[in-house]
Chain A
Amino acid sequence: MTKRILTLALAVVMTAALFIGGGQSALAAGTGSTGDAAGGAITVGIASDLDSSLDPHVSSSLAGTREVLFNIYEGLTKPDTQGNLVPAVAESYAVNDTADEYTFTLREGVRFHNGQEVTVGDIVYSLTRAAGLETGEPLVATLAGVASVEAVDDRTVVVTLSAPDAEFIAYTTVAIIPEGSDPADGIVGTGPFKFVSRSPQGNIVMERFDEYWGEPAKCAKVTFEVIEDGQTMVMSLRSGAIDLAAHLEASQVAELKAAADLNVLEGNMNLVQALYLNNARPPFDDARVRQALCYAVDKQTVIDLAGDGHGTPLGSSMYPAFGKYFDDSLTNRYESDLDKARDLLAEAGYGPDDPLRFTIAVVSAYTPHVNTAQVIVELLRQVGVEAEIRQMENAAWYSDVYQGRDFDATITGMDASTLTASALLARFVSDNPKNFIGFDSADYDAAYAAAVGTTDDAEQTAKFKECEAILAEDAANVYIQDLADFVVTQADIEGYQFYPLYVMDLSTVYRAG
């Protein structure tokens, strides 16, 4: 008997060895990179894996992907920490008076990660591909207005728009890739870091690009580790397994603050967190009901209870990092007033006998939104509204709420993918495909059209502010806050900078000493 069991055990061990041995050679391909050079290697924890392809023209849907690719790809222009657009692959640009023709001059000596120098052909190819000029279907929605892209000489490219758009320059952050290339076959950009490898649900590795045209990255190598579990992220920071993690929640930070060898930086997430209301169907097709909710929900209470007091209250679909477009006077458009809320509800036909009932859909993985929902439910109870939280999985939320528009109300955060007011405001135009709340206001449509149609900066800003005011006045949504963004790093990591966009710039980050 012993012999037989021994044989069996041996067989098991050998199978195991086979498994591990087989995996070894397979894994080796991913980690065969160079060691630490000057500036050191930095490991960053990210809470979710990146999109399918790392195609910069396609994978714009996940903010988490965009913030990583920001380090690898660059456009003709790129945003800086102040929210300005600075020339990148282009050295300079000019706009004609009617804002429908943009001329870019190529910067000399910009190289791709494969060593080739960037030519106007690459720019024409990239913009043509992203705008879908040959397929008729734009890969990047913001470039839908591009009519043609032409190289005038070997340093000048002219982009013609089908209609004037003074904001267009902000869309030229779209990545420049080598002519004829497909990012599915290899990731080649012009950014301060070059892509090295990727392992699904594992990590993404990038290294400093030594021939970068601008200020070179300070660290030699960055590894993004995918750590989906929030508790594991905290443990990994405390143990030193990762050097930096962004977008942490107040509760995680509270646990980390006790550890003296960590730095906690606080910025803003740069998104509009709100109780988004389905304006297209009862009960929220009635403006009085929406306003009643606005009066009943005290933003500061939400911020204090759900976010430990961290967060910036908002009153419309715009956040402070946008500077000139942000109108702070709207923040307190609805001072907390429970009597007014009750009166408005009564006017709309709701009372103690027939209370307003609705459900709040929220993605269960997004703790800050779930916490906010819980506080809101309690606040609404004070005015006799019975709200119920429906926690959903991410994919189900997209399919039912965002795409299917089958919901009463939902708590989420809307961010901006480009540095334009349109990125936040376009979705509320009545026929915009992203208008998932079904907001329908002729005044709004007119104000928005006027804003994007003008080339006069002051007038444009005024019109965008008018849009924001209409959203607040009509109580399109119950606006809450721009969530606090906590970045926690090991004590020796320095140089992290916040952007007014959802990006993570690692080129300035380094290990001190």
Chain B
Amino acid sequence: MLITLLLISLLAFLAFQIVPGDPTTKLLGSEYSPERAASLREEMGLDRNVLVRYVDWLTGFITGDLGVSYSYGMGVDQVMEGKGAVTAALSLLAWVLVIAISLPLGVALARWQGGRLDRACVAMNQVFMAIPPFFLGILFTYVFGLVLKLFVPGGFISPQQSFWGFLGYLTFPALAIAIPKAAMVTKLLRSSILNQMGEDYVRTAYSRGNSRWGVIRGHVLRNAILPVVTFVAMTLADIVAGSIIVEQVFALPGLGRLLLASIGNRDYPVVQCIVVIIAFIVVFMNYLADVVTQYIDPRVRLA
């Protein structure tokens, strides 16, 4: 896990050597002259070897010194203040929505397979899976914001002003992220249950006098949910990545907007920090999925 994170941070660091421009580009802008750029680079320590700088950054990062943002001239921790909370709240809310929508729905569709609800949902599923979150976001701001006036697009409410207002404002961006994912999870759970329904143990369960619902609840679900758990855990990583785009659409002051702006400014102390956070979430959720799988299925052992 540590090695993965190290590798990712190194790759992100090196990527900045390849793209044109460096932090001095944006800082000097039209006031650029080769001499000023050179002296600024020296001042910022950019004239040193890439690997030296990487090791420098890494030691700082490990000892809790996140460095100073080039484009804001303040500590990276200060720059990120409060932004992590917005992204975390948005991602978690979206994740909870995915679970809250897809688990009951997936089971219900499998229970009444071929029913009206099932047929309608299977058709709709394809549509929802295909819609990118940013488009849903624009659609939502228009429909829920401007027409129905359920929220004020662009009128972000910080958790200090009103915690419930904050959650309320996040509901629509979270839905925009959650719906395509929920569609996928529903589809996965439904087909996973239906696959299990053909197994021998299901016939045995039926023969003991169980109803279809009884069989699903008592026997099938536990087996069918295994691939779904892994998938749901991994979607959180996807959701965090998706929130970067959706933050733009809803004007949310989260990490995503900061990340995009910092890439544009070549502000790599900030980018490094955010990349490591996102990488950590992905790796951690992967690990968590394994742990949960093991709880559900005792046959699986963690290596």
Contact = CB atoms under 8 A, between A and B. Distances in A.
Pick from A30, A184, A199, A202 the residue with the most CB of B within 10 Å.
Answer: A202
B30 A402 contact: yes
A458 interface: no
B198 interface: no
Nearest to A401: B20
Given A12-B92, A228-B248, A398 B82 contact: no
Contact of B153 (A60, A203, A241): A241
A141 B31 contact: yes
B253 A20 contact: no
Interface stretch (B46-54, B70-78, B121-129, B211-219): B70-78
Interface stretch (B21-29, B55-63, B174-182): B21-29
Given A236-B155, A240-B152, A399-B25, A229 B248 contact: yes
Given A23-B84, A239-B146, A31 B158 contact: yes
Most chain A CB atoms below 10 A, which of B32, B33, B79, B86: B32
Contact of A227 (B29, B161, B251): B251
Contacts of B161: 31
Given A228-B248, A239-B146, A242-B154, A26 B72 contact: no
B292 A20 contact: no
A396 B31 contact: no
A241 B21 contact: no
Contacts of B207: none
B154 A23 contact: no
A141 B28 CA distance: 12
Contact of B249 (A12, A201, A232): A232
A49 B141 CA distance: 23
B153 A26 contact: no
A242 B264 CA distance: 25
Nearest to A198: B72
A251 to B, nearest CB: 15
A20 B164 CA distance: 13
**Interface size range of chain A in the complex:** 35 or more
Interface stretch (A1-9, A437-445, A484-492): A1-9
A402 B32 contact: yes
A446 interface: no
B72 A200 contact: yes
Contacts of B12: none
A203 B69 CA distance: 17
A395 B29 CA distance: 9
A184 B73 contact: yes
B47 to A, nearest CB: 16
Nearest to A392: B20
B82 A1 contact: no
B54 to A, nearest CB: 21
A27 B32 contact: no
B133 to A, nearest CB: 14
A61 B154 contact: no
Interface of A is mostly: helix
Interface string A78-99: 0000000000000000000000
Contact of A236 (B138, B159, B251): B251
A27 B158 contact: yes
B160 interface: yes
B266 to A, nearest CB: 6
B265 interface: yes
B160 A28 contact: yes
Contacts of B119: none
Given A16-B89, A398-B25, A399-B25, A49 B248 contact: no
Contacts of A203: 253
Given A225-B251, A396-B20, A232 B154 contact: yes
A20 B88 contact: yes
Contact of B264 (A16, A141, A394, A399): A394
A386 interface: no
Contacts of B13: none
A4 B295 contact: yes
Contacts of B253: 199, 201-203
Contacts of B265: 395
B258 to A, nearest CB: 5
Interface centre among B72, B88, B155, B260 (most CB of A within 10 A): B72
Contacts of A202: 83, 253
Task: Label chain B's interface by main secondary structure.
Answer: helix
A231 interface: yes
B31 A60 contact: yes
Nearest to B258: A201
B85 interface: yes
B111 interface: no
B34 to A, nearest CB: 8
Nearest to A3: B295
A24 interface: yes
B159 A398 contact: no
Nearest to A229: B248
B21 A19 contact: no
A201 B216 CA distance: 49
Nearest to B151: A239
B271 to A, nearest CB: 12
A360 B292 CA distance: 55
Interface in A355-392: none
B155 A396 contact: no
Contacts of B156: 241
B73 A395 contact: no
A108 interface: no
Given A16-B92, A200-B69, A225-B251, A398 B292 contact: no
B70 to A, nearest CB: 7
B145 interface: yes
A124 to B, nearest CB: 24
A228 B257 contact: yes
Nearest to B80: A200
B82 A199 contact: yes
Given A228-B248, A228-B260, A395-B21, 7 more contacts: A31-B158, A232-B141, A232-B250, A236-B155, A239-B153, A395-B20, A398-B21
Interface of A: 1, 4-5, 8, 12, 16, 19-20, 22-24, 26-28, 30-31, 45, 49, 51-53, 60-62, 141, 184, 199-203, 225-229, 231-233, 235-236, 238-242, 393-396, 398-400, 402-403, 433-434
Interface of B: 19-22, 25-33, 37, 69-74, 79, 81-86, 88-89, 92, 138, 141-142, 145-146, 152-156, 158-161, 222, 248-251, 253, 257-258, 260-261, 264-266, 292, 295-296
29 contacts: A1-B296, A8-B292, A16-B89, A26-B82, A27-B81, A28-B160, A51-B27, A60-B31, A61-B29, A184-B73, A201-B253, A201-B257, A228-B260, A231-B249, A236-B154, A236-B251, A239-B153, A239-B155, A241-B156, A242-B154, A394-B264, A395-B19, A395-B265, A396-B21, A398-B21, A399-B21, A399-B22, A403-B25, A434-B30
In the complex, the 10 A-B pairs of residues with the closest C-beta atoms, listed nearest first: A23-B85, A236-B154, A61-B29, A241-B154, A399-B21, A241-B155, A27-B82, A395-B21, A202-B253, A235-B153
